[in-house]
Each structure stands twice: as structure tokens, then as C-alpha cells.
Amino acid sequence: MTSMKTCLITGGGGFLGSHLCGRFIDRGFRVIVVDNFLTGNEKNIEPLMGHPAFELIRHDISLHLRIPGPVHYVLHFASPASPLDYLQFPIQTLKVGALGTHNALGLAKEKKAVFLLASTSEVYGDPLVHPQPEEYWGNVNPIGPRGVYDEAKRYAEALTMAYHRTHKMDTKIIRIFNTYGPRMRLRDGRAIPAFLSQALTGEPLTVFGDGQQTRSLCYIDDMVNGIESLLLSKVNEPVNIGNPDEISMLELAQKIIKITNSSSRIIHKPLPVDDPKVRQPDVRKAEKLLSWDPKVALEDGLKLTVEYFKEALGKK
């Protein structure tokens, strides 16, 4: 056990974090999860609970944390991540982006560990450059309702780079674009869980505005591959990871109705404040530096996700 590399994942009970736990356990790592389950779900990591290389620490990373023994990698994924969550928990979102990142970086510094920050495409705000390359500084409303998430992540990036430059730490910043797949919460406020839950229960699918706003959707397996590649690389500057195939929200709703063979209709509601009109990653840096590109087509990923949602909704 002592020869095992140890990977600590804050927010490991969440959608993305739990998939990373499984990946690193499979790779032969010891995995420590730090989560207060504000938005995570303990069921996501239930299958790992009895594993000898897995440990759960119930803790809010916004508060100081000491970990005995060696830690080789710190992955900071703790944060409300959907609009529904960060609008409900604005102060917690800001605190985990600021204090939580500070504590996670401090732990990585103490352990001489590699640090990876889960940042987001939301640092680009409602972009004026399309697609979004890492060099783009973004168009963010700092005092709007979405600003609590956008600015928390922008601050977290600045803090991570400050630790990299000042303390010569090996830090990574991944800018995650919309990701989907099994273990997403059924109604977490994001498009795919909302559309799938509505389609499978016969409710109308809610499309905001005229539905022409776009997103680029990356299946969870592709995202985990990208995160692992970045973590184990020599790259320290921010890297976009996401699927560059762009789709409008109206087209996505229509596709989900077709895949689920639903009789649901589409209704339109007003566009939320500061909702980005476009979202598409420029992934040339990931392709060049990490030899990474997404493999799972949207249709295939959606079919796998539908099966999970059917089971979760008791529709199987």
C-alpha cells in the first residue's frame, strides 16, 4: 500500500469527481475523496466504499484540512457547477473558489503534489470570440447572478498560477466545457438532464429563448481521458477540454425527443440573465500538447445517458 500513488479529489462525490475516482482506482492509485456533499451524491461513490484503496473524508474544503501521509496528486473539483446550484448557493460557490482553492493549493504545496484545478468554459463568459481559445480573456459580468461562479473560477485560476510562479509548483488548469453522461443529477438545471427527465416523464421540454444559443457537449469518458492526460503531462498553462461539435439547444431538444421516442412537446421560456449565446472550445492545444481528442459522438453518448436516466427515473 505504501508504494501506491495517492490521489486526493475534492468534490469526488460529484458527477465528474466520482468518474475520476473510478478511473484512478482502476489505475492502481489510492484515492481520497474530500466532499461535504452540498451538491454531490454519496451514491456516486457507493461502489468504491469498501475498496481498500479508497477513503472518504466528509469535509468542506473551504475550511482548513490536514491529511496525514503522502499525497501525490490533488485534483480540486469541489464547487457547485450548474446554474441551479450556484444561484442557490452563491456564497458557498465563491468561498470554495477562493478559500477552497487556497486550501487545496496549500495542501498540494505541503505534500509537493501535482495540483489540478477544475476550471470551466464559463471563464469566457458570453464570448465575443468564437470558438474560444485559451488566449481569450473572456466577457464576464462580475456582478450578474452567474458572476459568482464565473469569477470564483477566474480567481481560482489566478491563484493557481500565482502558486505556480511563486512556489514553483507543478499546477494544471483544465477549462471544462459542457460534459454529460451517467450520474448527472436528474434535474440539476443543465440542458441534458432537464431535457431527458422531461422527455422520459412526458413533460414539455423547456427551451430558453428561441433555442438558437449553442453548446458543445462532451461525453464523460472523453472528459476523464482529457483530465488524466493533462494531469500526467508537463503542461502548466490552461487547456480547454471539450467536444468542438456545436449544437443549438432547440436542435438538442428535438434530438432527445427522437432518441427517447417521447411524445413531449417543446415550450419556450425567457432566456436567463447573462446566458451565453455560444459555447465552443478551440481544442487545438489539447490535440497538440496532450494528443487528446474526443471520440464519442453525441448520438452515442446520449443513448448511454438515456439508459442511466431511465433506470434512475424507474422507467425500465
Active site residues: 149
What phi, psi does 268 have (nearest 5°)? -115, 140
CA distance 231 to 302: 27
> Which residue bears the cell 494531469?
231
Q: Which three cell numbers stand for residue 282?
A: 478551440
Amino acid letter, 250? L
Pairing state of beta strands 73-76 and 266-269? unpaired
In contact, 33 and 47? CB cutoff 8 Å: no
DSSP label of 4: S
Beta bridge partners of 266: 205
Contact 74, 103 (CB under 8 A): no
Task: Give the residues across from 32 on adjacent strands.
Answer: 8, 55
8-state DSSP, 243: -
